[in-house]
């Protein structure tokens, strides 16, 4: 089994992040070692590469790491309510677009696009991405 697991340097290289990032994500509870070597090196699963990629996508969309950690470790991992609220906010923004000046229109269009991207990203969350 340990032959399928990755040392921290291997994980960092595959995920295209630094080992410090892997350490920090581990410290925040965003990823967790699957085991240790005889020399006490942390070992991670190949799936952690995808998990780090997903975390980086969320960060690029402006989601804070502590919010990501809370969502990943929450016992109530139901995103339905959050998605419903985001959808309602999106509808309200679209309605506001019709009644705004051209100065405000660009800002609301950018916000609407960001919400659409976040909803799309949330819909692609694999169920096994969460830490049990």
Number of domains in the chain: 2
Q: Are residues 68 and 81 in the same domain?
A: no
Structural domain that includes position 7? 1-73
What's the order of all strands across the beta sheet hosting 42-44? 6-7, 42-44, 35-36
Would the CA dihedral through 118, 124, 127, 132 be positive or negative? Answer: negative
Would the CA dihedral through 100, 103, 104, 108 be positive or negative? Answer: positive
What pTM does this model have?
A: 0.62
pLDDT one-digit tens code per residue, 57-110: 888 877 788 878 877 766 555 556 666 676 777 777 777 777 777 777 777 777
Checking if the pLDDT of 12 tops 90, the result is: yes
Lowest mean pLDDT among 8-12, 13-17, 22-26, 76-80: 76-80
Q: Are residues 89 and 120 in the same domain?
A: yes
Residue 123 confidence class, pLDDT cut points 50, 70, 90: low
Helix (H, G, I), strand (E, B) or coil at 22: helix
Higher pLDDT pick, 33 / 132: 33
Q: Are residues 46 and 5 in the same domain?
A: yes
Q: Which of 90, 71, 80 is nearest to 129 (CA)?
A: 71
């Amino acid at each position: 089994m340990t032959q399928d697991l990755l040392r921290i340097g291997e994980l960092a290289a595959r995920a295209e992040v630094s080992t410090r990032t892997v350490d920090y994500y581990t410290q925040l509870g965003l990823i967790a070692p699957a085991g240790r070597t005889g020399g006490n090196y942390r070992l991670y699963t190949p799936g952690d590469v995808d998990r780090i990629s997903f975390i980086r996508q969320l960060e690029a969309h402006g989601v804070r790491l502590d919010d990501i950690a809370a969502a990943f470790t929450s016992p109530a991992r139901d995103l339905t309510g959050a998605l419903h609220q985001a959808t309602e906010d999106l509808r309200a923004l679209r309605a506001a677009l019709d009644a705004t000046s051209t100065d405000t229109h660009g800002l609301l269009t950018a916000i609407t696009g960001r919400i659409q991207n976040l909803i799309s990203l949330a819909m692609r969350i694999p169920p096994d991405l969460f830490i049990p």
